[in-house]
Amino acid sequence: MDLFSNINKYIDHSNLKPYATFEDIEILCKEAVQYRFHAVCVNPFYVRYARTLLKGSDIKVCCVVGFPLGANSPKTKLVEASTAVNDGADELDIVWNIGAFKSSDYDFVENELKTIISYTQNVVHKVIVETAYLTPEEKEIAVKLVMNTGAEFIKTSTGFAPEGAKIEDIRLWKKIAGDKIKIKAAGGIRDFDTAVEMIKAGADRIGTSHGVEIVKGR
């Protein structure tokens, strides 16, 4: 795919701000249609509204789960994920339990994700691991763990942490995983050149609230 002319198809156009209004989501969806982004990414409250606004288009609706901390109970996350799918979500960006992972409770993290994925089949699952809080060694463990869950993507960041996507993390995961799992780079990607760098490093999707600026900057 030619990046210059098709970078829009890599973009999950996002508005996950806590103060986002119905008007903001309407603007988000209109921009997604105008620029033909891959998806819009919204909080659970707006999934049904976004689905209605995008009716008749091929733009996907992506919903975050356990956002932005990942510290909800497994049952809460499962209900949230299932509700999002019932409301019309095509893709789920799931924040894993960061604290459990940092506590080396890998079985808990993996089982929680496997349960959510098993109950929400036929949608795309992206696991947000929040790289800003991980050591280099933990980043290696993270990609291997996420591959075990059956998720289609590993995602760098929520955009709420001190740091977002880094080129070296994308390259690391691509080296370890190859084509066994896709990578979504998110957090701090605001211009065309940065988005292209991420894709060339191995990212298959870009999560950003600056999709319009990226496309206009090509």
Using CA atoms, how far apart are residues 28 and 24, in angstroms rounded to an integer? 6
Is there a catalytic annotation at residue 184?
A: yes
What is the dihedral sign for C-alpha 30, 14, 175, 127?
Answer: negative
Is there a catalytic annotation at residue 166?
A: no
Catalytic residue among 155, 166, 174, 182: 155
Is there a catalytic annotation at residue 114?
A: no
Helix (H) or strand (E) holding 62: strand 60-65
Which long-range contacts link 166-175 to residues 24+ away (Cβ below 8 Å)?
Answer: 166/131, 167/197, 167/198, 167/201, 169/131, 169/139, 170/198, 170/201, 170/202, 170/203, 171/201, 171/202, 172/136, 172/139, 172/140, 172/143, 173/139, 173/143, 173/202, 174/201, 174/202
Q: Which residues, 6 or more positions from 67, have their beta carbon under 8 angstroms from its beta carbon? A: 16, 43, 93, 95, 128, 158
Using CA atoms, how far apart are residues 92 and 82, in angstroms rounded to an integer? 10
Catalytic residue among 60, 77, 90, 93: 93
- Would you name the residues annotated as active-site residues? 93, 155, 184
